[in-house]
Chains A and B, each alone.
Chain A
Amino acid sequence: MMQLQGVIDSAVKEVGKVLLGKEPQIRLALCCLVARGHLLIEDLPGMGKTTLSHALAAVLGLSWKRVQFTSDLLPADILGISVYDARDASFSFHPGPIFTQLLLADEINRTTPRTQSALLEAMAEGQVTVEGKTRALPQPFFVIATQNPVHQSGTYPLPESQLDRFLMRLELGYPHPRAEREMFERRHSAIREIDNLQQCINAQQLEAIRVAVSKVQASDSLLDYLQRLVACTRQSPEFEVGLSPRGALALLDCARTWAAMHNRGHVVPEDVQMVLPAVASHRLVPGGEYAGDGMALVDLLLRNVDVIGS
């Protein structure tokens, strides 16, 4: 167990070298990947979304590819295509960039829904079907997608069904002034940190973490709290759409992973509270006066739902 937290800490530290002062987000991102979930990073351009994705791929030691989504990108550009080979006089399949362990889908909401949906099967099933033939993707398979805030022009908002496939959604936010200052100071050093990131977690370690997660216990009291949270999203008038059972499961999985990452054999309410904003904010549809602000909704949940049953 001790060793597990050490592994995670070293990975966080490693990623922290390139993304300064964003430790909580890095931890959440790792939590998401350890829990076998896909990650959505949403923020304004230039906030370090792509950097975080790169760094995560590097410390996890995964093969990764990057696709820049544009409005004219077609499904075939991602999935791959059969090309006629004149020498063999036959069609041969040229796999697209999706055949990798970690796919960086940059600016996913810049592309059309048609292309977005091409990712759906891959994300849900770990396989793609091209030209009638189903092909398995390498394991593990992760998607880290970045997107610009929905209200920016030239974006196609992801439908709820696709949002739901992402285990977490993170927002990076502006860096702390101190971190930003350090960034300025490092700007002209000769080494590009991102190329020199060490792999911190190998495949066995990842598997070990997963085993540890599966042993994490969630007590009655905690499940009660979880259910109160979920019930609140379904009953309060502030929510147009509550948390789906899949969302509730995601919350529990992430909380367990978070507990395991902190060397605990059981989940405590703090774990749930830590992962709740990232897990729930993109799944909740606000109604009434909270329109448009998922984060305010999550705040409301955290404030109003009693941790201890009465």
Chain B
Amino acid sequence: MKLQQQVPRNALVWIIISMFALVAPHALRLPPWVLLVYVVAVIWRILVYRGRWSFPGRSVKLILIFSSFIGVYVSYGTLVGLEPMVALLLTAFAFKLIELSRRNDAYVLLFLGYFVCITEFLFSQDLLITLYSMLNVVLVTTALVALHQPGEHQFNRGSIRLAGVMLAQALPLMVVIFFLFPRIDPLWTVPVNNHMAKTGMSDFMKPGDVAKLSQSADVALRVKFDGDIPPVSALYWRGLVFSRMQQGAWSALDYYDVPVKQQRPREMRTSGDALEYTVIMEPSWQNWLYGLHYARATTPGVRHTADYRLSTLSPLETEYMYRVRSWTQAQAEPGLSQWRREIETRLPPGSNPRTRQLAQEMKALTETDQQFIDAVLNKFSTQDYVYTLQPGSLSELHAMDEFLFESRRGFCEHYASAFTVMMRAAGVPARVVAGYLGGEINPVNRTVIVHQFDAHAWAEVWLQGQGWVRVDPTAAVSPERIEWGLEAAMQAEGSFLSEAPLSALRYRNIPFLNLLRLRYDALTYRWQSWIVGFNSERQLNLLRDIFGEINTRVIATVLLGSWVLVLVPVSISLFRKRATRQVSRPDRFYLKFCERLARLGLVRSAGETPGQFFLRAEAALPAYAGQMRDITSLYNQLAYAGTADGEGADASTLDTFSRAVKRFRPSR
């Protein structure tokens, strides 16, 4: 193989380093055998480099390709979807290393490396991941640089410097493109695989589901209030409304379950100032959003449902930011439609007979619905009901009977569910609402961080003249949960985050670590609101703020203008660097002369002096011998007869020379 095509050792080492760096963030998501493939591929390639092994043959390669397909299929159960596709890509990426023999292969591998770097963003757009990906870009670029330094036989760090300088030059352009380049929605969507373990609310709730969710310390959403933050115990983040009970589980109404005329939410009378806030949701892979009662979103694209929830059209696969105005005192649905009343009082026939009987007896003893509610809550708080994260399992059909009369151990969803069933059994419209309660106030930037363990379920009861009223039965059992949060409520039990021993939240009693955690969270908020949440709409707003009316011409002008602004300084610095060895004027004319001869097929080779070239040209084009002789001797005089400091090339000679070249128009 020619020297030019070999992959230098320095480049090979950089390639291997960058490959491992690229696969590292994927490591936890990939099946372990893919990582094994990487290790084997690197060992194989190193042994090839040492001359012990050889490159794989065609049949071996085919076998490897097929087995990787089979491996991905076995691991994921499918080949379609984001995760299997990325796994396939990463496996192919590893295989490319063992057939890396010439420089062209390295190009393919490294350009693929840039692509692999992007795939990480399909899973996370975290600040740290972004910084890490930038490091990866530097590494891949370094390998690319090393590939072009054939003299560097030993591994060295010189290449990374050059790569860093090159990428630093590209940074301003990156910023410009980020803020100004038109953001086009994807033309296709990749099916998101549910293989990934996700935490969050689901639109289907059985007793015990929220308790399970409370083991997770993941962030669900971050909220920034425009004004003061209301008391944490009043922050009921409504997400889902469960109006239907089937087989012991609560589920939300589908869009088409609602009669057409009632699908749009009724306008509500609002009074007073609204709470205004911005919510950034972590990807939930669901399409509902969270907001305080009664929420109206000002972000386009957010839908409002008949039960006063917010939702989007498609599931959230990335962080999502929206603006909300909430009127906490507003009356919801003061007049209840017949259909709605019927739906909100329906119970599965034959289920929970004891609960129903109890409810009807208690209802008979009270006069108003409000008194009945108080009686039920009183029952929870005075009798020996336990609020616990470990409620034990319940049977499917008569779960509420079992809970109310036997186990008496439950988490919020048990109490909300039991309360709602009792209400409905007594003919009072009621429903379960799921969402989050409270949150942690980050003192660094005054945001409210809502974690998954803040997940909560409560009830809403419809009262004549008041509309839907929030009732939280958990407050009756465990007031600490409402006032101080889950951790305080579970202090005695010690079950808070017992399944997440490494969560930073567990160490918040160490002030230094806690401050670090909160500072990082504040940074994340800024990152998400500025970078991740920067979509086409915000872009348009930004441009509108700066340039006023926006049309195609303005965008094109701004884009081109800013590119020019960025590129001009770079060009000037390059030009200055060049200026010291700028092509002098005689050289320029002489090169023009060569160019004209080259058009006739007479190309001056690099090492040919003007004199030698003249002799060759004279033999080929005798008709122009005189002109060419003049030009050559004038050039020799101008370029070489002058002194070293450039004097002596007097103006008239240069003039004669340039005119001679301009006149010279040879043809065969």
Contact B641 A308 (CB under 8 A): no
- Residue among B586, B609, B645 with most chain A CB within 10 A: B609
Q: Which residues of A contact B581 (CB under 8 A)?
A: 224, 309
Chain A 212-248, CB-CB to B under 8 Å as 1, else 0, gives: 0000011111111000000000010110000000000
Number of interface residues of B (CB under 8 A): 28
Q: Which residues of B contact A273 (CB under 8 A)?
A: 607, 609
Contact A270 B612 (CB under 8 A): yes
Contact A304 B642 (CB under 8 A): no
Query: Separation in Å of the B621 CB from the closest CB of chain A?
Result: 20
The answer to the question of B601 belonging to the interface, with a C-beta cut-off of 8 Å to chain A, is: no
Contact B609 A270 (CB under 8 A): yes
Q: Which residues of A contact B74 (CB under 8 A)?
A: none
The answer to the question of B348 belonging to the interface, with a C-beta cut-off of 8 Å to chain A, is: no
Q: Could you tell me which residues of chain A, from 286 to 310, have a CB within 8 Å of some CB in chain B?
A: 288-289, 301-310
Query: Separation in Å of the A260 CB from the closest CB of chain B?
Result: 14
Known: A220-B646, A288-B3, A309-B581. Contact between A269 and B640, CB under 8 A?
A: yes
Chain B 1-15, CB-CB to A under 8 Å as 1, else 0, gives: 001000000000000
Query: Separation in Å of the A229 CB from the closest CB of chain B?
Result: 10
Contact A302 B591 (CB under 8 A): no
Contact B151 A268 (CB under 8 A): no
CA distance A306 to B584 in the complex (A): 15
Contact A289 B609 (CB under 8 A): no
Known: A221-B584, A235-B151. Contact between A306 and B639, CB under 8 A?
A: no
Number of interface residues of A (CB under 8 A): 30
The answer to the question of A265 belonging to the interface, with a C-beta cut-off of 8 Å to chain B, is: yes
The answer to the question of A267 belonging to the interface, with a C-beta cut-off of 8 Å to chain B, is: yes
A302 partner, pick from B583, B584, B607, B646, beta carbons under 8 A: B607
Q: Which residues of A contact B150 (CB under 8 A)?
A: 237
Known: A237-B3, A303-B607. Contact between A217 and B643, CB under 8 A?
A: yes
Q: Which residues of A contact B641 (CB under 8 A)?
A: 217, 219, 265-266
Q: Could you tell me which residues of chain A, from 136 to 164, have a CB within 8 Å of some CB in chain B?
A: none
Contact B640 A267 (CB under 8 A): yes
Contact A223 B644 (CB under 8 A): yes
Q: Could you tell me which residues of chain B, from 519 to 569, have a CB within 8 Å of some CB in chain A?
A: none
CA distance A224 to B583 in the complex (A): 11
CA distance A49 to B268 in the complex (A): 113
For residue B152, which residue of chain A has the nearest CB? A237
For residue A239, which residue of chain B has the nearest CB? B151
Contact B587 A268 (CB under 8 A): no
Q: Which residues of B contact A266 (CB under 8 A)?
A: 640-642
Q: Which residues of B contact A303 (CB under 8 A)?
A: 605-607
Chain B 579-604, CB-CB to A under 8 Å as 1, else 0, gives: 00101101100110010000000000
The answer to the question of B608 belonging to the interface, with a C-beta cut-off of 8 Å to chain A, is: yes
Q: Could you tell me which residues of chain B, from 408 to 447, have a CB within 8 Å of some CB in chain A?
A: none
For residue B636, which residue of chain A has the nearest CB? A268
B611 partner, pick from A270, A288, A310, beta carbons under 8 A: A270
The answer to the question of B610 belonging to the interface, with a C-beta cut-off of 8 Å to chain A, is: yes
Query: Separation in Å of the B653 CB from the closest CB of chain A?
Result: 13
- Residue among B607, B612, B642 with most chain A CB within 10 A: B607
Q: Which residues of B contact A267 (CB under 8 A)?
A: 640
Selected A-B contacts with CB under 8 Å, 17 pairs: A218-B644, A219-B644, A221-B584, A223-B644, A235-B151, A238-B3, A266-B641, A268-B611, A270-B609, A301-B607, A306-B607, A307-B607, A307-B609, A307-B610, A309-B581, A309-B584, A310-B583
Known: A237-B151, A266-B640, A310-B591. 19 other contacts (CB 8 A): A217-B643, A218-B644, A220-B584, A220-B642, A220-B645, A221-B587, A221-B639, A223-B644, A238-B3, A265-B641, A268-B611, A269-B610, A269-B611, A269-B640, A273-B609, A301-B607, A306-B607, A309-B581, A310-B583
> Which 4 pairs from chain A and chain B are nearest by CB?
A221-B639, A269-B609, A306-B606, A303-B607
